Amino acid sequence: MQIVIQGGRVIDPAHHIDTVADLFIADGKIAGLGQSPAGFIPEQVIDARHQVVCPGLIDLCARLREPGQEHKATIASETRAAAAGGITTLVCPPDTDPPIDEPSVIEWIRRRAKAAGQARVLTLGALTHRLRGERLAEMAALKEAGCVGVSDGGQPIGNSRVLRRALEYAATFDLTVFLTPLDPELSHGLAHEGQVATRMGLPGIPAAAETGRIARDLELVRDLGVRVHFGRLSSARSVELIIRARAEGLPVSADVAVHHLHLTEMDLVGFDSRCHVCPPLRSLRDKDALRAGLVSGAVSAICSDHQPHESDAKQAPFGDTEPGISGLDTLLGLSLRLTRDGVLPLTTVIERLTCGPARVLGLDRGHLGVGAMADVCVFDAEAEGLLESTMLRSRGQNSPFIGWALPGRVTQTLLEGRVVYAREG
């Protein structure tokens, strides 16, 4: 299959390209930019005039709820939502049921994703057996089965000795370790510890629950030289710690969930359970620091932290609801809002959604170089519309962004040179 995407503004941050040109795709790979490759006869022409053509988005953290919680969502339902949102690669953390702590689960997820055929699903293996933080998982076998890293799966390891050994063992097999920086004993609360939580009578989670863990983990990294990625920073001080560690040359990186770039503790007022997330939404100052970290590059990637829920999971008093936001549908729109708000130039936003996360994964993805896998997102950057609940493709309708004006409208998504989403009309 040979496809040409014509006349779009091609933005490929990995190669510092931002130009209006045709993009040529053959046999699932990028075949050329600008000049038609020799002997290229397009079977399909995609008109991308007045639109942006960029690498397909890579989302470092998306819960697809399968296996184990199919009443919330499935790999098929969520990869369809991803494709409609311009996301071509999803990284699935290991806290499925059963957890991703043995090769058969990785194989099973891969088969399900392949059958759905809408997006590439990569897996993170478990650091410890059953994610219990006691015994090591069989990381070598998990790596052979294809996991792209290992992780605590959102259940931080309390025992420092176990964590240190897990890091060392992972490093033996050159695996990047994805950690959730939250001290389990300090994170029993429901909201950022501050005046909003005080007024609402919600138990607080101090910023130190996050920064304390990061500070300790950085010391372990310094000792062991293992690559560590911190997922979902929520506080200003965490960004400072990462900046300092990177300046010292430690092999660490970090991402931020897109909702932390837009919401704060104030959004909890009225006990809005859709804003119940973990780590919690923090202060305005924290939000600004996370944005600044994204600008400076201290934060390498924006992710959706997608957590779809059935409606019952959010229909209860705040503390009885499950945390998490359904984020695949809004990842691109909320990221583009940063450009509209003058926080980040468009090319940088795309960088943090494509080659930024690819670098964290150590994968040759997220760019449009000749020979690269043709994962492409085409969107109209000028279009802007109010988000309505009927527009959400994810099974999870738990989004606090309904009613928000979101820029950007995905018109085509290509996965390995195959159109997996084309906007109608």
Partner 1 sequence: MSATHFQLDAQGRLQHFLTIEGLTCRHLTEILDIAESLHGVAERRVKKLPTLHGKTVVNLFFEASTRTRTTFELAAKRLSADVLTLNIATSSAVKGESLLDTLRNIEAMQCDMFVVRHSQSGAAEFIARHVKPHIAVLNAGDGRHAHPTQAMLDVFTIRRHKPDFPSLRVAIVGDILHSRVARSLIHALSILGTGDIRVIAPRTLLPAQVENLGVRVFHHLPEGLRDVDVVVMLRLQRERMEGALLPSEQEFFQQYGLTEERLALAHPDAIVMHPGPINRGVEIDSRVADGPRSVILEQVTNGIAVRMAIMSITLGHHARPVGEEV
Tokens in use for 5? 């995407």
Does 405 sit near partner 1 (CB under 8 A)? no
Among 165, 319, 322, 343, binds partner 1 (CB under 8 A): 319
Q: Are strands 301-303 and 252-257 parallel, antiparallel or unpaired?
A: parallel
Which of these segments, 59-67, 116-124, 209-217, 318-326, binds partner 1 (CB under 8 A)? 318-326
Q: Between 194 and 396, whose beta carbon lies closer to partner 1?
A: 194
203, 345, 385, 403: which one contacts partner 1 (CB under 8 A)? 203
Q: Is 271 in the site for partner 1 (CB under 8 A)?
A: yes
Catalytic positions: 305
Radius of gyration of the chain (CA): 21
Binding residues with partner 1: total (CB under 8 A): 23
Residue in 193, 210, 255, 375 binding partner 1, rule: CB under 8 A: 193
Chain residues 123-182 in contact with partner 1, contact rule CB under 8 A:
none
Q: Is 183 in the site for partner 1 (CB under 8 A)?
A: no
Binding-site member from 201, 249, 342, 425 for partner 1 (CB under 8 A): 201
Inter-CA distances, 243 with 344, 354, 403, Å: 18, 21, 35
Of the pair 242, 263, the CB lying nearest partner 1 is at: 263
160: exposed, middle or buried (Cβ count in 10 Å: 0-12, 13-18, 19+)? exposed
Closest separation between CB of residue 309 and partner 1, Å?
14
Task: Return the number of the residue (311 or 390) whose C-beta is nearest partner 1.
Answer: 311
Give least dist CB 393 to partner 1, A. Answer: 26
According to DSSP, the β-strands at 87-92 and 29-33 are: unpaired
Query: For 378, how many CA atoms within 13 A lie in the half-sphere containing its CB?
Result: 27
- Pick the closer one to partner 1 by CB: 27 or 312: 312
Q: Integer distance in angstroms from the first to the last C-alpha of the chain?
A: 24
Smallest distance, partner 1 to C-beta of residue 276, A: 10
Of 146 and 212, the one with the shorter C-beta distance to partner 1 is: 212
Query: Strands 52-55 and 405-415, how do they pair?
Result: unpaired
How far is residue 99's CA from residue 62's CA, in Å, rounded to a whole number? 15
Q: How many C-beta atoms surround the C-beta of residue 159 within 10 A?
A: 12
Which amino acid appears at position 292 of this protein? A
Q: Report in angstroms the alpha-carbon separations of 400 from 193, 259, 325, 392.
A: 21, 9, 8, 12
The CA distance from 32 to 394, in Å, is: 34
Question: How far apart, in whole angstroms, are the C-alpha atoms of residue 106 and residue 181?
Answer: 24
For the CB of residue 319, give the shortest distance to partner 1 in the complex, in Å.
4
Helix (H, G, I), strand (E, B) or coil at 190: coil
Shortest separation between residue 66's beta carbon and partner 1, angstroms: 24
Q: Which is nearer to partner 1, 229 or 276 (CB)?
A: 276
DSSP conformation letters of 57-85: EEES-B---TTT-TTT--HHHHHHHHHHT
Give 188 or 423: the residue with its C-beta nearer to partner 1. 188
Q: Based on the number of CB atoms within 10 Å of its own CB, is 137 exposed (0-12), middle (13-18) or buried (19 or more)?
A: buried
Binding mask 218-257 for partner 1 (x = CB under 8 A): ----------------------------------------
Handedness of CA 41, 43, 47, 53 (dihedral sign): negative
User: From the list 49, 247, 249, 317, which residue makes contact with partner 1 (rule: CB under 8 A)?
Assistant: 317
Beta strand 17-26 with 2-12: parallel, antiparallel or unpaired? antiparallel
Site membership for partner 1, residue 320 (CB under 8 A): yes
Asked whether position 194 contacts partner 1 by CB under 8 A, the answer is: yes
Single residue of 156, 204, 366, 417 touching partner 1 by CB under 8 A: 204
Q: Per CB under 8 A, which region of 13-21, 27-35, 198-206, 211-219 contacts partner 1?
A: 198-206
Residue selected from 76, 138, 208, 318 as contacting partner 1 according to rule CB under 8 A: 318
How far apart CA 23 and CA 130 sit, in angstroms, is 45
Binding site for partner 1 (CB under 8 A): 190, 193-195, 197-204, 206, 269-271, 312, 315-320
